């Protein structure tokens, strides 16, 4: 098996079709990636090939460029067939062929997948296509209906073969390969090489050239990887907090389940973010619209499952947030590979539960990179970002909008009412922002508060002889007082239940509770969000308002 310790040759030495090579010059593809440098010379000579490389290493170009260079444009019947595990990847690969072949006059590429109208696909097949890229199920339908012929094929490519195995498509793949010409070239690309994929290669490939691109993780060096240990706050609230504190362009949030994509999207929309879900339950045209809306900036955040995001390639992704821990290392690398592309730096944040630390270690070992721990952004950090966004929005509006009419109206209002322009501007900003507080409350200086507190009040708050002893405060916790005690019949379970239900805080993160005669003390994780604090103030326990307050 050939490894990636070889002298790279340039694209100009690979005998590519001049039209294809010209496109590469236009898009400034100067140096081939390892998989391209090793695969292209073999594929252009018509040899069978096994290429083992992770997603994001440039393997689509590794087979698209040499195969495009061998197409006979006068023959309108399919000459290249590419099998992919998902419709998203089929669309992506077809688009790549169209891009690299954009100067090949009359080139027709068709993506074939379930969920799209048969009519569209049939019309294109009748007009003639040179390349078919598709998922196994829909291709089998066309082959059974005899609406596609593969008699003129010279090459079949199996893309992401291990994913086809995981998704249960291997029998379908064999069914298709059994019905293609025996003497054609076959190329198989896969991130991993499990035994069933090896068997496929042995059965259908003829003395293939084997290429292994060792995962040196260079592609991860443009990605700043960080993790947050889940504690003290509901995950959806933590996600909002992170998004409020960072500057981002486009974001993909990865969840485990389809249901979670909808729940997380709603939580983000409720906070004013432009977010949409992407999952397997959506119709294909709806999924395509959602991806296009992310590409053109109509939405900023996509909440997706791994399968739905397969093959997703959007240049503006600045952040990937792993809301749920992936099951394996490869899905994690596939996820974060959506950012940090084309030499730009990307950001990846991983939410880690207490029982998921082992997987964090596995990821670090496999990627040979340390993932840095970060903490939940503070109120001060969020407030700083809000001020910066506010100023930026003003500057952007001043640059891009025609303000003459509004400027005239403000000048008139200033003269009529004799009010400073700054005060009018503040009123307009308040009008635009709405009634929610602009700033989150930041913790006050506790020493100063203690000094200013009247002595009589401090004496009154000291526990009586009948009160529970005050326990030391644990690190990372803050103490709160609630105006419900033994005389109201309250028990620790009542307090835990109320806080868990209203704040979305798991009971294991609620600290020590001291129940006294007239009030109780409860320890909660540091940095309670202002909206949760306000909610708890009005929460009732045993027909009594909690009236929570922070202890000095």
DSSP three-state, residue 524? strand
Co-location of 8 and 156 in the same domain: yes
| Domain annotation covers residue 388 | no
Co-location of 264 and 286 in the same domain: yes
| Domain annotation covers residue 441 | no
DSSP three-state, residue 45? coil
Co-location of 178 and 259 in the same domain: no
Co-location of 415 and 267 in the same domain: no
| Domain annotation covers residue 156 | yes
| Domain annotation covers residue 418 | yes
The pLDDT assigned to 114 comes to 84
The pLDDT assigned to 189 comes to 94
The pLDDT assigned to 268 comes to 94
The pLDDT assigned to 178 comes to 96
- Dihedral (Cα; 385, 389, 395, 396), 10-degree rounding: 140
Q: What is the CATH number of the domain that holds 123?
A: 3.40.50.300
CA 309, chain centre distance (Å): 8
The pLDDT assigned to 487 comes to 85
* Encoded tokens for 361: 């270690």
- Tens place of pLDDT per residue across the chain (552 aa): 555 544 456 898 898 999 999 999 887 787 898 899 999 999 999 999 999 887 667 889 999 999 999 999 999 999 999 999 888 889 889 999 999 999 999 999 999 998 788 898 999 999 999 999 999 999 999 999 999 999 999 999 999 998 888 788 999 999 999 999 999 999 999 888 889 999 999 999 999 999 988 655 556 778 999 999 998 889 999 999 999 999 999 999 999 988 999 999 999 998 889 999 998 778 777 888 898 899 999 999 999 998 777 667 788 899 999 999 987 787 888 889 888 876 678 999 999 998 898 899 988 988 888 999 999 998 888 888 888 878 888 888 888 778 888 888 888 888 888 888 888 888 888 887 777 677 776 555 434 333 344 444 443 344 443 455 567 787 778 899 999 988 888 888 888 878 877 777 777 778 889 999 888 999 988 877 777 888 888 888 877 788 899 886
SS3 sequence, 236-278?
Answer: HHHHHHHHHHCCCCEEEEECCCHHHHHHHHHHHHHCCCCEEEE
Give how many domains the chain has, as a whole number. Answer: 4
Co-location of 293 and 322 in the same domain: yes
| Domain annotation covers residue 386 | no
Burial class (CB in 10 A: 0-12, 13-18, 19+), 388: exposed
Contact 266, 253 (CB under 8 A): no
Co-location of 205 and 91 in the same domain: yes
Co-location of 87 and 143 in the same domain: yes
Instruction: Give CA–CA dist 143/124, Å, rounded.
Output: 15
* 385, 412, 433 - which closes a domain: 433
Co-location of 86 and 197 in the same domain: yes
| Domain annotation covers residue 387 | no
Co-location of 208 and 225 in the same domain: no
* 212, 234, 257 - which closes a domain: 212
| Domain annotation covers residue 389 | no
CA distances from 220 to 56, 249, 334, 335 (A): 10, 19, 11, 11
Closest CA to 131 of 103, 160, 178, 95: 95
Buried-state track 427-441, b at ≥16 Cβ within 10 A, e below 16: eeeeeeeeeeeeebe
Co-location of 19 and 75 in the same domain: yes
Co-location of 403 and 484 in the same domain: no
Domain encompassing residue 429? 395-433
The pLDDT assigned to 327 comes to 79
Helices 195-204 and 170-177, axial angle in degrees (round to 10): 0
| Domain annotation covers residue 483 | yes
Q: What is the CATH number of the domain that holds 501?
A: 3.30.70.330
The pLDDT assigned to 226 comes to 96
* 212, 243, 272 - which closes a domain: 212
Co-location of 234 and 368 in the same domain: yes
């Amino acid at each position: 098996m050939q490894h990636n310790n070889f002298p790279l040759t340039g694209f100009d030495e690979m005998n590519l079709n001049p039209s294809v090579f010209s496109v590469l010059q236009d898009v400034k593809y100067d140096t081939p990636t390892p998989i391209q440098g090793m695969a292209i010379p073999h594929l252009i000579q018509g040899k069978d090939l096994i290429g083992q490389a992770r997603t994001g290493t440039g393997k689509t170009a590794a087979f698209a460029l040499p195969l495009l260079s061998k197409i006979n444009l006068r023959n309108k019947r399919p000459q290249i067939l590419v099998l992919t595990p998902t419709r998203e990847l089929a669309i992506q690969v077809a688009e790549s062929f169209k891009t690299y072949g954009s100067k090949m006059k009359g080139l027709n590429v068709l993506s074939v997948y379930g969920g799209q109208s048969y009519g569209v696909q049939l019309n294109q097949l009748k007009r003639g296509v040179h390349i078919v890229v598709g998922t196994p199920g829909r291709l089998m339908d066309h082959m059974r209906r005899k609406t596609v012929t593969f008699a003129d094929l010279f090459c079949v490519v199996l893309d992401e073969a291990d994913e086809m195995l995981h998704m249960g498509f291997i029998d379908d793949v064999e069914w298709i390969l059994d019905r293609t010409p025996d003497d054609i070239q076959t190329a198989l690309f896969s991130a991993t090489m499990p035994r069933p994929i090896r068997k496929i290669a042995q059965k259908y490939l003829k003395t293939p050239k084997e290429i292994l691109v060792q995962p040196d993780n260079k592609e991860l060096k443009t990605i700043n990887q960080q993790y947050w240990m889940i504690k003290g706050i509901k995950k959806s609230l933590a996600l909002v907090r992170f998004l409020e504190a960072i500057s981002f362009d486009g974001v993909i949030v990865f969840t485990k389940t389809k249901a979670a994509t909808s729940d997380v999207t709603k939580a983000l929309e409720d906070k004013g973010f432009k977010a949409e879900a992407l999952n397997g339950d959506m119709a294909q045209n709806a999924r395509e619209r959602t991806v296009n809306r992310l590409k053109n900036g109509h939405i900023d955040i996509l909440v997706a499952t791994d399968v739905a995001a397969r093959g997703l390639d959007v240049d503006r992704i600045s952040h990937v947030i792993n809301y749920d821990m992936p099951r394996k290392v490869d899905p994690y690398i596939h996820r974060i590979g959506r950012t940090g592309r084309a030499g730009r730096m990307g950001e990846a944040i991983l939410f880690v539960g207490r029982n998921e630390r082992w997987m964090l270690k596995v990821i670090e070992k496999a990627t040979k990179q340390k993932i840095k721990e970060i903490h939940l952004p503070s109120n001060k950090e969020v407030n700083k970002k809000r001020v910066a966004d506010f100023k930026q929005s003003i500057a952007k509006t001043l640059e891009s909008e025609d303000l003459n009419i509004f400027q005239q109206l403000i000048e008139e209002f200033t003269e009529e009412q004799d009010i400073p322009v700054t005060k009018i501007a503040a009123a307009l900003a308040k009008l635009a922002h709405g009634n929610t507080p602009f700033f989150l409350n930041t913790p006050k200086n506790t020493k100063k508060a203690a000094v200013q507190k009247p002595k009589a009040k401090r004496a009154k708050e000291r526990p009586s002889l009948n009160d529970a002893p005050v326990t030391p405060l644990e690190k990372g916790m803050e103490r709160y007082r609630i105006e419900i005690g033994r005389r109201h019949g309250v028990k620790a379970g009542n307090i835990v239940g109320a806080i868990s239900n209203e704040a979305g805080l798991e009971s294991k993160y609620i600290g020590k509770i001291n129940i006294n005669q007239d009030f109780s003390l409860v320890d909660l994780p540091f940095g309670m969000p202002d909206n949760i604090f306000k909610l708890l103030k009005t929460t009732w326990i045993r027909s009594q308002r909690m009236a929570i307050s922070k202890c000095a």
